[in-house]
């Protein structure tokens, strides 16, 4: 699942390629999405490329190729409709429900969290996961499914389920759910650097993301991990 801006940009590129055969410039993409700077476009392009939706063609300026569209996206759907994109909601404030035994509890499963490029976390009020009591943090907890591979060197793999303790602060070195610009969520190691916050991946193929501290909100910290073997 893409964020609203990623989805909007992907469809804008698709429509421009269909109309002119040439991908839009960064200035055109910035204006179309109402962004203040081209740095935001760079971040969105990197996100789409890393998630396999577009490809940049080497040694050619303004050369982008659409590889695929979001699942269920009709080829004729107008850019910017974004009907299948839901805003993030980490309202996991309710106490965990008891499971069928005294050693486990059920906690809400709030969708997918990117362990690569930031992605929206989707709330699903009807989904729960059963976890051992010993894996719970001291506060209220919720679960997220990991999407991406940027935390693999810490043993957090694509498809894993992470257990997150709700909190709004964290210590340097903790793995956190961070909400960037109030719309995109990511799972990274947190480190403060003066007035900035660094979100550090555990994969040498990914770069550290650094933001002004005011752009990042901690939504919880990692306290456990579940994995299914098929």
As annotated, the active-site residues are 150, 188
Asked if 121 contacts 144 with a C-beta cutoff of 8 angstroms, the reply is yes
In the chain, how long is the greatest CA-to-CA distance? Answer: 63
Which is nearest to 126 in space by CA: 111, 136, 114? 111
φ/ψ region of 111 (left if φ > 0, alpha if ψ in -120 to 50, else beta) reads: left
Handedness of CA 87, 5, 85, 143 (dihedral sign): negative
Per DSSP, the three-state class of 222 is: strand
Strand partners, 165: 141, 221
């Amino acid at each position: 699942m893409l964020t609203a801006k990623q989805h909007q940009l992907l469809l804008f590129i698709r429509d421009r390629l269909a109309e002119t055969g040439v991908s839009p410039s960064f200035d055109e993409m910035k204006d179309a999405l109402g962004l203040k700077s081209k740095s935001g476009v760079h971040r969105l392009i990197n996100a789409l490329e890393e998630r396999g939706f577009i490809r940049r063609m080497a040694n050619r300026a303004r050369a982008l190729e659409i590889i695929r569209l979001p699942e269920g996206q009709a080829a004729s759907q107008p850019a910017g409709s974004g009907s299948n994109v839901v805003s993030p909601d980490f309202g996991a404030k309710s106490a965990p429900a008891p499971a069928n035994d005294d050693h486990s509890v059920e906690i809400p499963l709030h969708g997918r969290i990117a362990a690569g490029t930031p992605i929206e976390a989707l709330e699903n009020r009807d989904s729960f996961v059963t976890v051992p009591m010993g894996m719970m943090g001291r506060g209220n907890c919720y679960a997220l499914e990991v999407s991406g591979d940027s935390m693999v060197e810490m043993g957090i793999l694509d498809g894993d389920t992470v257990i997150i303790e709700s909190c709004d602060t964290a210590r340097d070195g903790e793995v956190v759910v961070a909400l960037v610009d109030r719309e995109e969520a990511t799972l990274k190691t947190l480190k403060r650097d003066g007035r900035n916050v660094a979100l550090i991946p555990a994969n040498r193929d990914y770069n550290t993301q650094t933001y002004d501290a005011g752009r990042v909100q901690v939504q919880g910290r990692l306290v456990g991990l579940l994995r299914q073997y098929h």
